[in-house]
């Protein structure tokens, strides 16, 4: 038995603003002609079909007709740009290295860290940028709030010890030989409405950071949008110069998510959108850096001490608990 064609109610708006309401069967020739007329345009001016009424209706428009879109809650889009280079310059485009560990802490540990962040509102200070002369406030480059001394807290040590457990696997993942640790540096940050940190890398001639570790925590349901982490492709040119490309990988901040990447990677914290402006609705993050010691401590060879000297203790090797050592 042949199914009967459905009846379609149409609202046709013409140039000049005239609106006509038409009823046609869905297989009517006039209906096909109508959509064919709209589609007879340059490929760049494609047709968009938008559902209305929960999918009970649809609005079909040309792409060139769209002027603006209002979303509630806010939607933050990140659009890629093509890679560009100077004519005649040889370069290699390298994708960023990173690892994501979800559910990094136990549920109770996560709740305790979040409670600490929410209770520490008075301890946050305006984020600054490191320069040759110390730290400077550069609002065009960095806008967020920071607890600089977080690395000395008991809660920070919990996160640091968990990172040390992952350290051998992370080093192997990134192809980095085990190295003696100087310290694990940590900051607690909060990004409120419109706050960001422009593209940068964490290492430098006088900054012995090797691995950067960003741990996300925030209240749910989340009171912000955006705040994503961008890891940029790297353009490596002849002569050893490096610069970020305009292409990137986007990582969404999720609660209890740890993102680890080599500190030489170019990255950016995109603006957060926090309509309420309330501190509790911020996107919180704990950023830790695993620093390389310039001189290894040969006497620190037991327990966590082998991370200070860069050599896995024989006791660990004999017990089968470790499989690699520093070169």
DSSP secondary structure of 275-296: TT--GGGSEEEEEEEEEEPSS-
* Cross-strand partners of 9: 23
> Residue 213 — pLDDT band, cuts 50, 70, 90?
very high
Sign of CA dihedral 231, 237, 243, 246: negative
Higher pLDDT, residue 106 or 155: 106
Burial classification of residue 239, based on how many CB atoms lie within 10 Å of its CB (0-12 exposed, 13-18 middle, 19 or more buried):
exposed
Q: Any idea what DSSP says for residue 45?
A: S
Q: Which of 183-192, 199-208, 254-263, 267-276 has the lowest mean pLDDT?
A: 199-208
Angstrom distance (rounded) from CA 306 to CA 304: 6
> ∠ CA 56-60-65 to the nearest 5 degrees?
140
Q: Which of 32-41, 161-170, 201-210, 290-299 has the lowest mean pLDDT?
A: 32-41
Name residues whose C-beta falls within 8 Å of residue 290's C-beta, 6 or more positions apart in sequence: 163, 167, 181, 184, 209, 210, 211, 213
Higher pLDDT, residue 11 or 64: 11
> ∠ CA 284-192-131 to the nearest 5 degrees?
80
**DSSP assignment of 211-234:** EEEEEEE--SS-S-EE--EEEEEE
Write the CA distances from 144 to 129, 140, 261, integer angstroms: 11, 11, 21
Predicted TM-score (pTM) of the model is: 0.70
What are the sequence ranges of the domains in the chain? 7-65, 91-294
For 167, the 3-state DSSP assignment is helix
Cβ atoms of 21 and 57 closer than 8 Å = no
pLDDT of 202 reads 94
Fold of domain 91-294? Jelly Rolls (2.60.120)
Rg (CA), the chain: 27
Cβ atoms of 230 and 78 closer than 8 Å = yes
CA nearest 114: which of 275, 272, 279, 313? 279
Cβ atoms of 210 and 77 closer than 8 Å = no
Higher pLDDT, residue 48 or 108: 108
> Residue 260 — pLDDT band, cuts 50, 70, 90?
very high
pLDDT of 316 reads 47
Tokens 């520490």 correspond to what residue?
A: 120
Neighbours of 146 (CB within 10 A): 18
Higher pLDDT, residue 153 or 114: 114
């Amino acid at each position: 038995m042949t199914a009967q064609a459905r009846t379609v109610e149409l609202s046709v708006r013409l140039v000049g603003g005239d609106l006509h309401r038409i009823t046609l069967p869905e297989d009517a020739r006039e209906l096909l002609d109508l959509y064919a007329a709209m589609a007879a345009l340059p490929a760049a001016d494609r047709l968009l079909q938008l559902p209305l009424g929960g999918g009970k209706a649809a609005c079909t428009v040309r792409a060139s007709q769209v002027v603006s879109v209002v979303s509630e809650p806010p939607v933050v889009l990140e659009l890629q740009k093509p890679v560009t280079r100077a004519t005649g310059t040889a370069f290699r485009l390298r994708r960023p290295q990173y690892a994501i560990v979800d559910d990094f802490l136990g549920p109770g540990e996560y709740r305790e860290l979040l409670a600490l962040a929410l209770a520490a509102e008075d301890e946050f200070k305006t984020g600054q940028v490191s320069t040759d002369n110390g730290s400077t406030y550069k609002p065009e480059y960095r806008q967020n709030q920071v607890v600089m001394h977080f690395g000395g807290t008991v809660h920070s040590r919990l996160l640091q010890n968990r990172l040390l457990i992952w350290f051998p696997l992370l080093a192997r993942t990134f192809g980095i030989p085990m190295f003696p640790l100087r310290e694990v540096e940590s900051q607690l940050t909060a990004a409120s409405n419109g706050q960001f940190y422009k593209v940068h890398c964490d290492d430098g001639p006088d900054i012995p950071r090797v691995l950067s570790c960003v741990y996300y925590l925030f209240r749910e349901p989340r009171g912000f949008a955006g705040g994503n982490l961008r890891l940029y492709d790297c353009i490596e040119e002849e002569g050893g110069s490096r610069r970020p490309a305009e292409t990137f990988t986007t990582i969404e901040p999720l609660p209890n998510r740890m993102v680890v990447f080599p500190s030489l990677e170019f990255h950016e914290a995109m603006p957060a959108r926090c309509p309420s402006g309330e501190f509790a609705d911020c996107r919180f993050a704990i950023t830790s850096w695993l620093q390389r010691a310039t001189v290894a401590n040969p006497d620190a060879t037991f327990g966590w001490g082998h991370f200070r000297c860069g050599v896995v203790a024989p006791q660990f090797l004999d017990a089968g608990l470790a499989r690699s050592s520093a070169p």
